[in-house]
Structure 1
Amino acid sequence: MNGTTVSRRTFGKLVGAAGAGALGAGALAAAPAASAPQTWSASGTAVAALRSFDDTMKSYMLARGISAGQLAVTYRGRLVLARGYGNNSPQLIQPTSLFRVASLSKSLTAAAIVRLAQDGRLSLGDPVGKFVDLTPPAGQSVDPRLGQVTLWRLLQHTGGWDRDATNFDPLFKDRIIARALGVPMELRHADVIRFMSGQPLLHDPGATVSYSNYGYLLAGRVVEAITGMPYETYVKQTLLAPLGITRMANGWTIARHSGEVGYQSQYTGTTVLDDSGATVAAPYGTFSMRLHDANGGWIASAVDMVRWASAFDAGSTLLNGTSLSRIWAVPQPTGVNSNGWYYGLGWAVRPVSGGTGRNTWHTGSLPGNYSLLVRTYDGMSWAALFNQRDDESGLGYGEIDPLLWQAARAVTSWPTHNFWSKYYA
């Protein structure tokens, strides 16, 4: 494994986002599926040279019964495709419609921490306990290794928590935490932190890569402690506004923002928004969007996500060369794993052989959405967003990644137009 320990997790699970393997706070039951004829619609400007992308999205969505999808593609800095797709959708899906993006949110949180380091307001080597109160519940003690959990380790998933080994991701164990602390639901961030501060680490900090939503929850609280602002406000003002991105926001569990799509799931479960025990549709209350803000709570359009991805290009006005080198740094001592990739700061990274660059990406998944964001070594990027992650076809969702690579390779001549001005002032 080239010195890397990846905790029993394939790539798809490792960066598969906020709720992979945890369909809410408890066991979810399948809801009756409604059958309806498939009526296909597409919005945005069709581009003949890029028809392979449209065809891919259509066949992928129809096969899985996905009602809403979106795709944006850039080529060498130009926005060349921005499309919304509807499959028997009650809404017209526009290129600017908003979707939950789940763990694509991690790139924003990592960038916020790195930007604070760039501005001299913290060091990535600082322990998280310098900024966040890690006092455990009465009668419990802190694992002495918690003092070794630095900001670097939070963002590279080497803090020492392991949701695989314990089958315990605290972001999806609301009821267990509420009962242990004797507090009502909906939980607050401080509740989760207090509970987890009394739990032992499963690994020495820095020794093992294990995907941790909780680590990013903590990183969001570091942003608030340093800036004195809500996490969302800092990200909007410092990272998104300079790029002209105004639509993105932290999503809500029940209500929808203007222009936000509805979410689908065949599952139901018990609400975590209160102690009523009510059964709810899986996307609307089996997990708390408020808790997930920094690890999986953002909503965006695909156009917004590729715009955001441009902040990580060389010459970025948001992140200087030092900051970018930190984001792409190989975790030490774990290194590159046996599959040839590693987790940087908020991104999965695969060095391209021959030293010619790197491919970087992330996936996102919660009950009711699936998302993918890719940056390629040769100057392309794409974001694909969907309003469900479960289906009865048995096909799964990870196939969208190789399918979009195939669509890109099928392009024989890339267009020279640039649609950025259609979506940003």
Structure 2
Amino acid sequence: MELTRRNLGKLAVVTGATAAAGTAAGYAVSRPADAAATWKTTGTAVPALASFDNQMKAFMQARGVTGGQLAVTYKGRLVLARGYSTSTALAVQPTSLFRIASLSKSFTAAAIVKLVQDGKLDLATPVANILDITPASGLTRDPRWSKITLWKVLQHLGGWDRDVSGDPNWKDATISRTLGVPMELRSADVIKYVAGQKLDFDPGTKYAYSNFGYTLAGRVIEKVSGLSYEDYIQQKLLTPLKIKRMSQGWSIAKHTGETSYDSQYSGPTVLDMSGKTVPAAYGSFSMRIQDANGGWIASAPDLVRWAKMFDAPSSVLNSTSLSRFWSKPSTGVNSGGSYYGLGWHVRPVTTGGTGRNTWHTGSMPGTFTILVRTYNGMSWAALFNRRDDASGKSYGDIDAALWTAAGAVKSWPTNDLFPQYFS
């Protein structure tokens, strides 16, 4: 659930991931005409950072996006938190909640690393040694499952390639028919279905972005911790950071403070067996089975608060644990040096400084998100209530736009908004 290309530090990086699922044949496109925007902007304006406001507004207006949100940090301080809306039905606040899609993966990876830190897991353990990977009656499990370790799952080396066999987290109807179970599916149904399918490649020999791998990781967290996936993340990771707004999202209902999503598509519901046509953002996919790979809702300040945790050891994750996130995989390193670590894309920086840029994007019907950490002490999160697959305008452009905004800052302010939003 993310895009294929993004510019980090004005350098295009191919990650190997394909465009998000949810745009397959069967969705009917319904796009409102773009119009001149009448802006409602919330949060404190910071004149020195006006370039970020300008880039967000230009990006949203060009694509007809009605709701967006941005948070920016500099040297560990939250210097900007803004909400943007053009619809009379929306008033996006800096604390409004958005589905963050695949940005959820960094939380899942961190939970696994935390369990390793606490001596409850080993990343070299095969997943099938922890979970019951039993296929449906009459089907046989691929023997190569014994090679699928937690390292391989988190680095997308597990053996599943959605370009070859499809993304099982978006194959609800197929799984329902194959297993003879009703929709809405549960994660256990998805695992049982995949357990009976042949792997697409030998584990560890190829990088192929896999939502399903993170579904497995979520179940490992539950099995080892004895808590639900959501409870473990909130208790062990979010609460120590004073992040209180985040939650698992719902397929139709909204949490208090959650934004509305702009569906350009319609498709058949996967929440029951009725086959009725629904707006794509509300029922054409199940948030329940997206939980560990793309199910969280958050605000942009929450996400940059989370990103700050990776800057230095803390009571949550020690230095050994932090180093694991940037571990280079056995394969899948791109020509520019970028690769997928644990829940983050990574690009080492060797010109203009040293260190690394790390990032992730998220994308599903009604949502596009991006979170970036830079080698030189900046981070930003931008969230949108619309994914515009039909216009031909690349959502990857927001990454370049925000780097441009950062480059236009003449003097970074000394303010810190973190105490305002986290207490």
* Fold conserved between structures, TM > 0.5: yes
The equivalent residue for 2:132 is 133
Q: Partners of 1:391 and 1:138 in 2: how far apart?
A: 39
CA contact under 8 A between 2:313 and 2:322: conserved in structure 1?
Answer: no
The equivalent residue for 2:232 is 234
Question: Bigger CA drift: 365-374 or 125-134?
Answer: 125-134
The equivalent residue for 2:30 is 31
How many residue pairs align between the two structures? Answer: 413
Aligned pairs for 1:363-402 within 5 A: 363-390=361-388, 393-402=391-400
State the AA in 1 paired with 2:167.
D
Aligned pairs for 1:207-222 within 5 A: 207-222=205-220
The equivalent residue for 2:66 is 67
The equivalent residue for 1:203 is 201
CA 1:128/1:392 → structure 2, altered by over 3 Å: closer, same or farther? closer
CA contact under 8 A between 1:265 and 1:390: conserved in structure 2?
Answer: no
Structure 1 residue 38 displacement after superposition = 2.6
Q: Partners of 1:107 and 1:296 in 2: how far apart?
A: 10
The equivalent residue for 1:340 is 337
CA contact under 8 A between 1:159 and 1:205: conserved in structure 2?
Answer: yes
Structure 1 residue 316 displacement after superposition = 3.1
Matched, 1:353 2:337: no
Matched, 1:88 2:94: no
Secondary structure at the aligned position of 2:51 is classed as helix
Question: Bigger CA drift: 305-314 or 341-350?
Answer: 305-314
CA contact under 8 A between 1:15 and 1:348: conserved in structure 2?
Answer: no
CA contact under 8 A between 1:15 and 1:363: conserved in structure 2?
Answer: no
Aligned-CA RMSD value = 1.7
State the AA in 2 paired with 1:411.
V
State the AA in 1 paired with 2:101.
A
State the AA in 2 paired with 1:235.
I
Given candidates 279, 295, 298, the residue that maps to 2:296 is 298
CA contact under 8 A between 2:34 and 2:63: conserved in structure 1?
Answer: no
Secondary structure at the aligned position of 2:266 is classed as strand
Q: Partners of 1:342 and 1:392 in 2: how far apart?
A: 29
The equivalent residue for 2:22 is 22
Given candidates 160, 169, 172, the residue that maps to 2:170 is 172
CA 1:50/1:358 → structure 2, altered by over 3 Å: closer, same or farther? same
The equivalent residue for 2:11 is none
CA contact under 8 A between 1:16 and 1:365: conserved in structure 2?
Answer: no
The equivalent residue for 1:48 is 47
State the AA in 2 paired with 1:382.
W
The equivalent residue for 1:190 is 188
Structure 1 residue 76 displacement after superposition = 0.3
Structure 1 residue 315 displacement after superposition = 2.5
CA contact under 8 A between 1:348 and 1:361: conserved in structure 2?
Answer: yes
Structure 1 residue 14 displacement after superposition = 4.8
Q: Partners of 1:394 and 1:163 in 2: how far apart?
A: 23
Aligned pairs for 1:101-180 within 5 A: 101-166=100-165, 168-180=166-178
CA contact under 8 A between 1:352 and 1:359: conserved in structure 2?
Answer: yes
Structure 1 residue 35 displacement after superposition = 6.6
Q: Partners of 1:199 and 1:255 in 2: how far apart?
A: 33
Structure 1 residue 87 displacement after superposition = 1.2
CA contact under 8 A between 2:16 and 2:208: conserved in structure 1?
Answer: no
In structure 1, runs of 5+ residues without a counterpart are 1-8
CA contact under 8 A between 2:34 and 2:64: conserved in structure 1?
Answer: no
Structure 1 residue 391 displacement after superposition = 5.8
CA contact under 8 A between 2:270 and 2:286: conserved in structure 1?
Answer: yes
Question: Bigger CA drift: 110-119 or 135-144?
Answer: 135-144
Structure 1 residue 412 displacement after superposition = 0.8
CA 1:50/1:244 → structure 2, altered by over 3 Å: closer, same or farther? same
CA contact under 8 A between 1:102 and 1:365: conserved in structure 2?
Answer: yes
State the AA in 1 paired with 2:369.
S
Question: Bigger CA drift: 223-232 or 306-315?
Answer: 306-315
Secondary structure at the aligned position of 1:384 is classed as strand
In structure 2, runs of 5+ residues without a counterpart are 7-13
Secondary structure at the aligned position of 2:236 is classed as helix
